[in-house]
Structure 1
């Protein structure tokens, strides 16, 4: 049911309303920071978790991936639910779910329980991210909207590195468990701020039915794809080398389970598209607004965002492991090294603001991706077992500048022509593209890292005279399965073996950086499909989508 537009407010009331909007943006940004920090805060804590819970390298990837996977799979669902039931309501519920799951993560006594808690955290994060974008899209107009998107995007870029610093401090001086526990007080602050300053908004007109079949197909597609990419090196990419087992049942075929998993990905993905197009032709609601892909900025921007995210965040998995297990830094020192990325991102927000009115957003995006390519490729060039933070920090800073420029402006490019009435679906799709890219980045680059480490170490140990083949295999498995955390203990047994492990882990980290740079090059090529346009004018009321309420109507009323 549409909300009536309120009469024009006096100037004083307008100023008060503007202050409330910007104050609300502060708490929205903190909510975004909460879920983004949690996707990176765990990185520097991983070695401590490996020692405490005795998890394997595959579980290391799943501790990362379980959160990102559920996050990506449910973004579209909650973007639609937010449009229907109220964006502020879903945001608050998401923060509650996220904070509650954080308590269970902090109390986990096994790797399996930690992964389960991370899965639930992903549900909460998927409720938060698209609603924050949708609220901004529905609340701010014109130049204010561009500024709000820039703040939102810069928050993501900065928090990617602030997370490791915060996690490093908590892990070093307290425990890795506090990396999750800190989410509880932050969640309380966010809920209070959102209730006070953020207005409720939702779709006008009759409530839309949720596309349940589409939701299930989207979850199956993303889950099977990421599962296959992560577990391929465990179970075998084509032939079975370690058959999966559940209870008394064991995979009985010589052909690995992984090709069948990828077959499920293809079939469910095709079914998702055909099902959505069928419902759209029938005039029914769809999980993904396929009609939005007719908008060039939305279509091309999402393709670019997904590829760029694949290259952006995958490197954050391998770098903290290398800094701690090869260079010997503790968690806090690692966080300080990664702070260079955050500083670069915050510098980028100022640069973006200075050029925002003179340069098209598409050009700024390309500048950002070029900076990312230089930063990541540079890391690949300087990473060795003998490197120090002095050679790493400059390239991380350049990389951070690129992340800040590209992240903030891509958001505006993707959503600039999306009708407000479809902002939930639009922001959900945009966030899903990013998160799928991030999930694939962790899966692909994590696989590159550990596969390269194993191959490199195996080759180096083969040159050690008198080393039995069985011992060689045990050392390789130990280094890979522990994600490098056994390297310091190897020093006590044999400095020669420890040096070989450090060099191999450096090789894997370097190859992971080069792979990330390659994906970023593809992302840059994808941005060439974005047309450089000046900031577009606000749509006229008569151009609004049928059934859409005006921004004023959507956000009318006083906050609680």
Structure 2
């Protein structure tokens, strides 16, 4: 007997942590004096490790037991949250987030694998609905809880809350989740695992650090301890080149192992399943637009509009409330409407919501006009998230659940990481360029202007309050608000563009098909040559 509630709550632990961190970022900036690049790495260090290890732990779950890895992952996540809560500096906080990413990578693919391997037919649709609804509900709790803890106590409590949640999930999983594994699972492909980590790490590093170190020539030397990058060419193109080489190596290595009959980190035969192949492409593109904007909105709300962390959390509840409502809606109609149709409706709602936000964002925007667009955006996320996951995994053989879930989760997390990196770069680059241009007409010296721009951008806008409090820098504060507002606006428009591309990608998933007759107990997954034959048709 498997209770999907505790399985879903384990995923919710990850979602709560992410939304809490988003709201707490401005307070972390002020308390630890972290730079804008470190702000991105507080998010990206977690997402990067998370994405890089999903394939590994998806394989390990099939081999050593899904419940076992789930419980271990929750324990690692909770203990690393404790380390994050006591971090005295930005670097140590980033290090704690790396460990959190390891724990999160154990949790996510195992939850999907448990659901995919255990439920079929109507029960399967309901299990995915519970999974999605739990995410939506905890997403609603995250910003409000994070805002309250950050405002009333400290951002450190935003991490500490994971401890009691972790204990609850561990006890619940041990009593309600039956252990399952694949007896025929092959040995872990450690070479493939290492290559996948290199691909993910170098890609995200290049996207985040391009504006910092330079996209081609060195803009600022990279320093690691006492070692300094000493050549004129930026490390960023080297990172992209290494990513390309590692990616090619990963593909050739995996295919060579598959031809020998040895297990590979990525089972390339799964991509012969049309719904799995095309669904992963769509999921990655959609994730680019879905989650990248969550970095810039809390920064803009607090440092430009002047809201507290609690007020920001209350505003973002509109997004989460829409997600919660939509998850229940998707569960109710999951057996009546083709899932891919629900996915497309959700993406359209996301586009409308995020584009609307981009239109209304400005230095004097009131919170009331944000609520409807956030709600519509959240409604779209709730419709698309769980249903797209179900579409991707619907034809995967149960024995391949762990690896398929890890692949699907990796696609989404890489998309999320790229979204945060790209949209974060748009935000900070736009703010820097526009603020510098606005101050050129003033009497400030070039050196003074450069120092002010650096102070504002590196503090993620937290320095605006100090500029506004001094009579002599009021104009600079107004220019900084305008620059950060435009950066947030362009990030929203870019997110809408990614979502439009994601909507186009879902067209490859096909259209409505005739559903099973009422009363059917299950929809058997197509496996082996039958699935491959239909895919090739």
- 1-side partners of 2:351 and 2:523: how far apart? 36
Change (3 A) 1:480 1:429: same
User: What is the CA deviation profile of residues 109-135 of structure 1, one whole-angstrom value per residue up to 9, with x for unaligned ones?
Assistant: 011110000000000000000000011
**In the TM superposition, what are the counterparts of 1:288-303 in structure 2 within 5 Å?**
288-303=266-281
Mapped pair 1:366 → 2:344? yes
Contact in 1 for aligned 2:20/2:146 (Cα 8 Å): yes
Residue 164 of structure 1 and its aligned partner are, at CA, apart by 2.1
Task: Work out whether 1:501 is the aligned partner of 2:490.
Answer: no
* Distance in 2 of aligned mates of 1:534 and 1:265: 43
- Select 1:46's aligned residue among 14, 25, 35: 25
- Are the aligned partners of 2:121 and 2:523 in contact in 1 as well (CA < 8 Å)? no
Write out aligned runs for 1:59-70 (5 A): 59-70=38-49
Distance 1:461 1:407 in 2: 43
Distance in structure 2 (CA, Å) of the matches to 1:53 and 1:296? 48
Deviation at residue 48 of structure 1 after TM alignment: 1.0
Structure 1 residues 539, 391: closer, same or farther in 2, change over 3 A? Answer: closer
What is residue 467 of structure 2 aligned with on the other side? 490
| Structure 2 Cα separation of the partners of residues 236 and 540 of structure 1 | 52
Once residues 281 and 138 of structure 2 are traced to their aligned partners in structure 1, the CA distance between those partners, rounded to angstroms, is 23
User: In the alignment, is residue 98 of structure 1 matched against residue 74 of structure 2?
Assistant: no
Work out whether residues 326 and 383 of structure 2, in 8 Å CA contact, stay in contact via their aligned partners in 1: yes
Q: Please say if residues 136 and 321 of structure 2, whose CA atoms lie closer than 8 Å, have aligned partners that are also in contact.
A: no
Aligned to 1:471: 448
- Which residue of 1 is the match for residue 123 of structure 2? 144
Aligned equivalents of 1:58, 1:241: Cα separation in 2: 14
What is the CA–CA distance in structure 2 between the aligned matches of 1:433 and 1:81, rounded to whole Å?
Answer: 18
Assess if the C-alpha contact under 8 Å between 1:306 and 1:434 holds in 2.
yes
Q: What is the aligned partner in structure 2 of residue 10 from structure 1?
A: none
SS in 2 for 1:44: helix
> Is the 8 Å Cα contact of residues 35 and 460 (structure 2) preserved in structure 1?
yes
- What do the CA deviations read for 1:425-469 (whole angstroms, capped 9, x no partner)? 1111111111111111111100000000001111111233x2222
Pairwise CA distance, 1:154: 3.3
Q: 1:93 & 1:356 partners in 2: Cα distance?
A: 32
Secondary structure at the counterpart of residue 292 of structure 2: helix
How many residues of Structure 1 are paired with residues of Structure 2 in the alignment? 522
Contact 1:153 1:411 in 2 (8 A): no
User: 1:396 Cα shift?
Assistant: 0.4
> 1 CA distance for matches of 2:497 and 2:241?
26
What is the correspondence of 1:106-505 to structure 2 with a 5 Å cutoff? Answer: 106-205=85-184, 207-464=185-442, 466-493=443-470, 494-505=473-484
State how far apart, in whole Å, the 2-side matches of 1:148 and 1:491 are: 51
CA distance in 2, matches of 1:237, 1:153: 39
Shift of 1:292: 0.6
Does 2:494 correspond to 1:515? yes
Match of 1:41, SS? helix
User: Any gaps of 5 or more consecutive residues in structure 1?
Assistant: 1-16, 547-560
* CA deviation map 1:170-206 (0-9, x unaligned): 101111001111111111111100011110000033x
* Cα offset, 1:252, TM superposition: 2.0
Distance 1:238 1:349, change over 3 A: same
- Normalising by structure 1, what TM-score? 0.91
Q: Deviations over 1:280-331 (max 9, x none)?
A: 1111101111111100000011100001011000000000000000110000
Q: Give yes or no for contact 1:39–1:67 (8 Å, CA) kept in 2.
A: no
Tell me the CA shift for residue 76 of structure 1: 0.5
Distance 1:328 1:434 in 2: 33
- Once residues 129 and 291 of structure 2 are traced to their aligned partners in structure 1, the CA distance between those partners, rounded to angstroms, is 19
Tell me what 2:13 maps to. 34
**Offset of 1:391 from its aligned partner?**
1.1
Structure 1's consecutive aligned runs of 4 or more residues displaced over 4 angstroms after TM superposition are 534-541, 543-546
| Cα pair 2:120 2:523 within 8 Å, conserved | no
Moved more, 530-539 or 488-497: 530-539
Give the corresponding residue for 2:533: none
State how far apart, in whole Å, the 1-side matches of 2:523 and 2:153 are.
52
TM-score (structure 2 length as normaliser): 0.95
Match among 58, 62, 75 for residue 54 of structure 2: 75
Change (3 A) 1:247 1:268: same
Residue in 2 that maps onto 1:87: 66
Cα distance, 1:500 vs. partner?
A: 0.9
Q: RMSD across aligned C-alpha pairs, in angstroms?
A: 1.6
Q: Are the counterparts in 1 of residues 129 and 328 from structure 2 also a CA contact under 8 Å? A: no
Shift of 1:245: 2.1
Distance in 1 between residues matched to 2:138 and 2:418, nearest whole Å: 20
> Judging changes above 3 Å, is the alpha-carbon distance between structure 1 residues 391 and 539 closer, same or farther for their aligned structure 2 residues?
closer
**Matched-pair contact (CA < 8 Å) for 1:365–1:405:** yes
Q: Aligned pair in 2 of structure 1 residues 511, 250: CA closer, same or farther (>3 Å)?
A: same
